[in-house]
Structure formats: structure tokens, C-alpha cells
Amino acid sequence: MTTTIMGNQMAPEFRPGENRTSSAIGAALCVKRVAAEAPDSVVVTAADTDVPCGVTSAALPASAGGVHGVGDVVLRGRTRVTASAAITAGDRLAPEAAGKVKTAASGDIVIGQALEAATADDDVIMAEIDCTAPVLL
């Protein structure tokens, strides 16, 4: 599913130049830009080789009658992320399939650090992310 990003200065987690709005993406999921689509379009990350541009901060409504719902994509800062497996607080995080995150291993793209532990797939935890400067581990 593809969404469009637009500026939004009314977002509670807004940091000038760091957040954009999006639509039709679930909560706490990593998203990446899609060069082949319209400018500023994003989709959920599909593999650990994808480089995310941010994380959705809340569930964003799907399009209805040609009008898309709007919400935030957090590029840097504290936000909730969805785990793909158990994660220990303090672990470095990397993107995974379905927009989730995993504990980073050698060769992974690090996008942040877990601030809470996850015990299983689909746990939603707090993390400090920085998709503006991902690092290859």
C-alpha cells in the first residue's frame, strides 16, 4: 500500500523538518520511501535490507471516497515500534519484514535502540529512533 507524505506542523511529536504526515499505514510500523511512486510516497518495510525513512506514530486511516487519512511519520526521537521477536531493552534495532523491528546483527541497518523489552512477535515497545542517519552494523 502506498501513501503520500505532506507537511504537518500541528502534530504533537512534531519537530521542524523531521516529521511528515502519511496515510493508510498501521501504527508503530517502519516505512520507506518509494522512488517509483509519487514524490514523498511511502510503504511499509518488507525486508531487513530496506532503509526506513521513519516510523508511524499512530494508526492511520485508509483512504475513503478518494480522501486519505492523515497522521505522523516520526523520523527521529522516541516512538513506539512493533517487534518481530523478543528484544532486550538496550538492543540496537534494525528494520524487518512487515514494518517491524528486530535486534540488529552484523550486516543490518541500525535505526535505533530499544528502551523497553519485547517478549514476542507483535509486541509494541518504546524506542529511540533516528532514521535520518541509519548505520550499517
pLDDT digit string, tens, across residues 1-29: 444 444 443 333 434 334 444 445 666 77
Domains and CATH numbers, the chain: 3-136 (2.40.300)
pTM of the complete model: 0.73
- Hey, CA dihedral for 10, 96, 53, 63, is it positive or negative? negative
Cα 91 from Cα 102, distance rounded (Å): 9
Candidates 33, 36, 9; CA nearest to 132 is: 33
Q: Which of 7-11, 40-44, 125-129, 130-134 has the highest mean pLDDT?
A: 125-129
* % of the chain surpassing 70 pLDDT: 63
Radius of gyration of the chain (CA): 14
The set of cell numbers assigned to 52 is: 526506513
